[in-house]
Amino acid sequence: MKKILLLALFVSAFSINYSQTHGSVGLSDARSMGMANTYVNSSFGLYSLGANPANLNADTTNSLEIIAPVPVPKISVKVGTNFMNLDEYNYFFGYSTTDENGDKVGRYLTESDKKRLKNLFKDGGKIFADQSIQLFGIAITPSTSFGTFAFTIGDVISANVTIPKNLVNLGLDGNTLNTVYNFSDMDLKSWWLRKYSVSYANSLNIIPGIENFSFGFTLNFVKGYSYLSIDEVKTELTTNDNYEITGRGSFTAHSAFSPDFGVNYDFDNAPDKTSNFSAFPKPAGSGVGIDFGFMAKLDNVFSVGLAFTDLGSIKWNKNVAEYKSDNPVFLDDLTDENQRDSLVNALKGKDSGKFIDGITTELASAMRMGVSAKVDELFDGDFPGKMIVELNYNKGFNNQPGNSLSGRFSIGMDWKLSSFFAVRNGFSFGGVDKFNWGFGLGFDFGIFEINLGSPDFHYVLSPNSAKRITVGIDSRWKF
């Protein structure tokens, strides 16, 4: 099980995932990232996919759009935590000195240090890693009345890990008498999905009181290459007056990997598998999801939008393993190696692994709502450039990678100062990150554009307080 965990984390940390908007808190395109991940009404063309497909053909005169690796690939990167910044990490884990024997030793924590470290985990110790590059995208608009079709290919690779608060308490305080240590907040989810997406959008002008009404939908054909989760954690340990530790080690874990990865489970007696890694590996599962959305342009200034994304699931049915533990725990002698080994084995579910027929997991389903205003339209031509200001609300329906059950509000601005140059800014509140200050730039060269953005620009200004790094760059051809 340990080898499987390490492999999944390695793949998640160093692989790619697609940069259409994924989940309620996942990565988006560089333009939207500069607006603190605000995108429901203001992302148009190929950038609208994954956010609100109704905008696929809205506010555009382009008959053809293409996203490709040139002039620059569409790349986004996010690595970090929700609980510890760089200064805190260096204080607790980066410090070392030399003792009188010439040996390197770390910092000895005071009671105040321990309280401070435990307080960092009070809202959950989440660690996440995402990197993204969209493989290809094309949108074609034969005519305004006909609408717009689009086809995209992209990978989704994400990992979320939650460190239990009581694991930190146990590590700092030891087995304190008459204390219950519950580890139910432990969580791990990691996956690699590839989406082949077909989209369509069009506009109607038949609703009284609404200047323009757009609708769109996307059908996602999903191939899954790896999956790892730790579920149903009910592990609990109790200490008593006699320094005895009792309780149960209880959890369920699942994993699935492409046959081309050559993963060898510790319980599998078959000959060792060999890796045959390629850009198009054999899937370990497949599924279908849909996105659909609407956008109503009330007049020349105000618009409202609503979208639901990633409604669907994936069935994992190749190389699916299950690890399960529900064993009693008893330890009254820390010097007894057999008791210590028994405790460790109960907690990690040793010898419990087996192949199962399959499991089904939800996609990172989310709801998105937006209200926007074209500020320049309010000034009858006296405003410099063109500006759109937008307010969004995003909420995930599950805790899959890239998603959050905690709602997220954001407000973003896209100010096109000229036909060539645009500035983006925005703020986001809620979700996993709690707070984001976004900033970005756009450069339009006519037949193609380049965008750069980060929803964590405040950490660029104050790097020692950074909890995460999130940046994006992309380009789009327009004809």
pLDDT for 83-98, tens place per residue?
A: 899 899 888 888 777 7
pLDDT of residue 22: 72
Amino acid present at 256: A
How many domains does the chain divide into? 1
Beta-carbon contacts of residue 360 (< 8 Å; ≥ 6 apart): 313, 314, 315, 316
The reply to whether 434 falls in a domain is yes
Domain around 292: 2-83+121-468
The reply to whether 475 falls in a domain is no
The reply to whether 116 falls in a domain is no
The reply to whether 157 falls in a domain is yes
**Phi/psi at 242 (5° precision):** -100, 15
- Locate all alpha helices (DSSP H) within 275-368, ordered by sequence: 337-348
Contact 310, 291 (CB under 8 A): yes
Any idea which residue has 């709502």 for tokens?
A: 369
pLDDT, one tens digit for every residue, the chain (479 residues): 544 444 444 444 433 344 456 777 778 899 999 999 999 999 999 999 999 999 998 866 789 999 999 999 888 889 899 889 989 988 888 877 777 777 887 788 888 998 999 899 887 788 888 877 788 999 999 988 899 999 999 888 888 899 888 888 888 887 788 888 888 888 999 999 999 999 999 998 878 889 999 999 999 999 999 999 998 898 888 888 887 888 888 899 999 999 999 888 888 887 777 888 788 899 999 999 999 999 999 999 999 999 999 999 999 999 999 998 888 888 777 667 787 777 777 777 777 889 999 999 999 999 999 999 999 999 887 899 999 999 999 999 998 988 889 999 999 999 999 999 999 999 999 988 889 999 999 999 999 999 999 999 999 888 889 999 999 999 999 99
Total residue count of the chain as it appears in this document: 479
The reply to whether 160 falls in a domain is yes
For the chain, give me the number of helices (H) and strands (E)? 7, 23
The reply to whether 91 falls in a domain is no
Q: What is the pTM of this model?
A: 0.89
The reply to whether 112 falls in a domain is no
CATH no. for residue 363? 2.40.160
The reply to whether 71 falls in a domain is yes
